[in-house]
Amino acid sequence: MSKISYQIEGSDLQYVEVVLPPNATVFGEQGAMMYMDDNINVTTVLGDGSPSSFGAIGRFFKAVKRSLTGESLFSSRYRNTSASPQRVAFASSSISKIVAIDLSELGGDLICQKGAYLAGEEGIETKLAFQKRLRVGFFGGEGFIMQRITGKGIVFINASGALAEMTLAPQQSLQVDSGCLVALSTAVSYEIKYAGKIKTALFGGEGLFYASLKGPGKIWLQSLPERRLGAELMKASLTGGKGFGGKLYFLLIIAAVIYSFYVEFNPA
Amino acid sequence: MQTFSATYYSPGQPLGSLAEAYFLGSKLVIAPVDISVNVADITMSVGGFEHDAFFLAWQDEFGGECALKLATKTDIAFVLAHAPPSLQKQCRVWHQRKRRIHLVWSSLAAITGVCVLSVVLLWWHYDQVVCWLVSHITVAQEEQFGKSVLAQMETDEPLISKGPAFEAVQSIGKRLTKNSAYHYQWLIKKEKTVNAFALPGGVIIVHSALLTKIDKPDELAAVLAHEVQHVEQRHALKSMVDNLGWATVLMVFLGDVSTPMAMITHELGGMFFSRDKEDEADRLGLQALINANIAPGGMVTFLQKLEKEPGANPPEWISSHPDTAGRIKTIQDLISAQACKTCQPLVYDWAKVQRDKVLL
């Protein structure tokens, strides 16, 4: 059983409050801490603080590899040095929900999208997972590099928008729009499927490819990939909220007013 | 009975539970739940994020999908080795998938390697590549090219091709270019700078100021020997290919067509050669002087004269041939290394040459 207890707060923009019993430790991504009690000792460690059989150089390389997965080179270790339980809270950096995943339920292995890791119990390692299929890497929407989170205990991952957790039965597959995939257990097969129709790709607003996930295993999906959110915000900021249609309408009104004046002063 | 460990997934346990299983005749038995499956109903597949998970899948009597995911590599090896003959055919899926991924990545690595290697080779053997390209241009083509450049120069000011000075240059030049593949053309240009230069294809132009500056015919022979080597070694063509190559690279990366044109214009206008090309011309020119039985001391005395030229306003000849002192030293060393006993100073009525009206 996990040593720590936690509470995820907030509805859409969430943070997680972790209660550490005496001498318990939790690791957090740099800059993710929101608040903490007095008696928590914070230290900065290289990578995820895990040891390496190659000593300091090995630790450094592990940290560099970890930083390729969208995390920072260093992370923070929060240790309760007092005799009473202490709190520490982590908030995610974007419009996102936080989900707590118990790794022991998944056989100690989880694949996540880049930068998904927020915080985790001691002994959890974040490694680089490399996509070996070229077409999945190019068209799967997650790129070639993902995160592999291993260890025992609870890990907090974040994803933008609402989060859906699903369990796929053996042979059951699900088509997912690229970029919506947050995490999957290692037994799940991740392929891409051609959408099949150029028309759909051009005018349907979807990509040419779907990610195809096949069970058995658990998957987590997000409703609002940052790419989609960014595109919407960009569109809104470029057009200033008013499209071409609005301006045309405005011109029509001016024309109608001028015409009515003309009719009024030049009665036939 | 030898068993293998795996994770057992069924409609009741979608998240899977650890299990031990073994083959018994044509049946697969999953020990903890005591289920036996007909081997004929099993399909094998490779899956998982890393493509390293091996699945045995089947349907239970209610049509629900069930699967076994083999736990480790040793379990996979065990199944591949001990599966009943009817399953062996399907075992190939595992090897095929592994091979395909391996093939894709190794061919990618090979293509990248070949690209990198060819760039490195080109860099390494750059001089040979330039020589190879130049060797595809015939002497006739080169002479044609030199003539057209000459025609362009003559439109500005006609070049001198008669008189005692011209005859002196021509006779010394001919002595130096015996047995050459090129048809040399010797010309004098009225110019106040001390200079001489070679166009591709054997056109050698001597400035009038050079002829008035030097005191004896040996020095003229030395200058001509040097310029002849620029022609013989096709230095002009080599630097053109060189600069053209870089210009093409620049054009490809900058998308600017005017750059190579500017470089070609510069190349034809200036005819500056790199330091190693000048050294080569010095060395081989010296050899040519010795072969023609002309005393090679003129080369040293001429360079010494150049060195004494007023430094405030260095003539063109010097500015395109840097480090004159170094060149003098090298030539002196070469001369002392192979003393030429049969070499004679040239005998000419040099005063008559210098009195030639065209030089004034």
- Domain of A65? 5-224
A189 vs B47, B101, B108: nearest CB: B47
**Same domain membership, residue B272 and residue B216:** yes
A215 touches chain B (CB under 8 A): yes
Per the domain annotation, does A93 fall within a domain? yes
Question: Any idea how long chain A is?
Answer: 268
With H, G, I as helix, E, B as strand and everything else as coil, classify residue A191: strand
Task: Give B11's contacts in chain A (Cβ within 8 Å).
Answer: 169
Task: Give B69's contacts in chain A (Cβ within 8 Å).
Answer: 187, 216
**Same domain membership, residue B115 and residue B86:** no
Q: What is the pLDDT of residue B147?
A: 85
Q: What is the pLDDT of residue B293?
A: 86
Question: From A191, which residue of chain B is nearest by alpha-carbon distance?
Answer: B49
**Closest of A117, A186, A212, A111 to residue A156, by C-alpha:** A117
Q: What is the pTM of this model?
A: 0.68
A135 touches chain B (CB under 8 A): no
- Asked which of B50, B83, B98 is the last residue of a domain, the reply is B98
Amino acid present at A41 = N
A-B contacts at Cβ under 8 angstroms:
64
Q: What is the mean pLDDT of each run of 10 residues along chain B (360 residues)?
A: 89 87 89 87 89 89 90 91 87 87 93 94 85 84 84 77 86 87 88 82 87 86 90 84 70 62 55 75 88 86 79 48 76 85 80 76
Q: How close does chain B come to A48, measured CA to CA in Å?
A: 22
Q: What is the pLDDT of residue B267?
A: 55
**Same domain membership, residue B127 and residue B60:** no
**Same domain membership, residue B174 and residue B41:** no
Mutate to test the interface with B, among A138, A142, A171, A218 (most CBs of B within 10 A): A171
**Same domain membership, residue B223 and residue B337:** yes
A169 touches chain B (CB under 8 A): yes
Q: What sign has the CA pseudo-torsion A56, A62, A65, A67?
A: negative
**Same domain membership, residue B292 and residue B161:** yes
A214 touches chain B (CB under 8 A): yes
Per the domain annotation, does A266 fall within a domain? no
A190 touches chain B (CB under 8 A): yes
A165 touches chain B (CB under 8 A): no
Question: From B65, which residue of chain A is nearest by alpha-carbon distance?
Answer: A170
Tokens read off for B4: 């293998």
Q: How close does chain B come to A2, measured CA to CA in Å?
A: 20
Mutate to test the interface with B, among A166, A167, A186 (most CBs of B within 10 A): A186
Q: How close does chain A come to B280, measured CA to CA in Å?
A: 51
Can you tell me the distance from the alpha carbon of B17 to that of A106, in angstroms, rounded to the nearest whole number? 10
Contact A186/B49, CB-based, under 8 Å?
yes
**Same domain membership, residue B294 and residue B231:** yes
Decide if A186 contacts A110 (C-beta within 8 A).
yes
A169 vs B11, B48, B69: nearest CB: B11
In this structure, what are the phi and psi dihedrals at residue B345, rounded to the nearest 5 degrees? Answer: -65, 150
B101 vs A132, A146, A215: nearest CB: A132
Contact B49/A190, CB-based, under 8 Å?
yes
Task: Give B66's contacts in chain A (Cβ within 8 Å).
Answer: 170
Per the domain annotation, does A244 fall within a domain? no
Amino acid present at A40 = I
Contact A171/B57, CB-based, under 8 Å?
yes
**Same domain membership, residue B237 and residue B272:** yes
**Closest of B27, B26, B30 to residue B18, by C-alpha:** B30
Contact B69/A216, CB-based, under 8 Å?
yes
DSSP code, position B159: P
List the Cα angle B190/B198/B124 in 5-degree steps.
150
With H, G, I as helix, E, B as strand and everything else as coil, classify residue A257: helix
A189 touches chain B (CB under 8 A): yes
**Same domain membership, residue B302 and residue B283:** yes
What's the pLDDT tens digit per position in A128-155?
999 888 888 888 888 899 999 999 899 9
- Domain of B16? 4-98
Per the domain annotation, does A141 fall within a domain? yes
Can you tell me the distance from the alpha carbon of B328 to that of B330, in angstroms, rounded to the nearest whole number? 6
**Same domain membership, residue B318 and residue B179:** yes
Per the domain annotation, does A249 fall within a domain? no
Tokens read off for B225: 């020997």
**Same domain membership, residue B182 and residue B127:** no
Per the domain annotation, does A68 fall within a domain? yes
Residue reference for tokens 């595109």: A231
Contact A129/B55, CB-based, under 8 Å?
no
**Residues in chain A where the model's pLDDT stays below 70:** 1-2, 196, 200-202, 204-207, 240-246, 266-268
Q: What is the pLDDT of residue B313?
A: 44
A101 touches chain B (CB under 8 A): no
Q: How close does chain B come to A86, measured CA to CA in Å?
A: 34
Per the domain annotation, does A231 fall within a domain? no
Give the total number of structural domains in chain B: 3
Can you tell me the distance from the alpha carbon of B9 to that of A215, in angstroms, rounded to the nearest whole number? 10
Q: How close does chain A come to B74, measured CA to CA in Å?
A: 17
Residue A74 sits in a domain whose CATH number is 3.60.160.10
Task: Give B68's contacts in chain A (Cβ within 8 Å).
Answer: none
Per the domain annotation, does A71 fall within a domain? yes
Task: Give B104's contacts in chain A (Cβ within 8 Å).
Answer: 134
Give the total number of structural domains in chain A: 1
Q: What is the pLDDT of residue B126?
A: 83
Q: What is the pLDDT of residue A157?
A: 93
Contact A215/B57, CB-based, under 8 Å?
no
Task: Give A108's contacts in chain B (Cβ within 8 Å).
Answer: none
A184 touches chain B (CB under 8 A): yes
Tokens read off for B148: 């057209």
**Same domain membership, residue B254 and residue B111:** no
B67 vs A105, A167, A216: nearest CB: A216
What b/e string do you get for B118-127 counting C-beta neighbours within 10 Å, with b at 16 or more?
eeeeeeeeee
Q: What is the pLDDT of residue A241?
A: 54
Task: Give A186's contacts in chain B (Cβ within 8 Å).
Answer: 48-50, 53
Q: What is the pLDDT of residue A37?
A: 94
Can you tell me the distance from the alpha carbon of B149 to that of B236, in angstroms, rounded to the nearest whole number? 12
Q: How close does chain A come to B66, measured CA to CA in Å?
A: 6
In this structure, what are the phi and psi dihedrals at residue B22, rounded to the nearest 5 degrees? Answer: -155, 160
What's the pLDDT tens digit per position in B227-264?
899 888 888 888 777 777 766 666 666 666 665 556 55
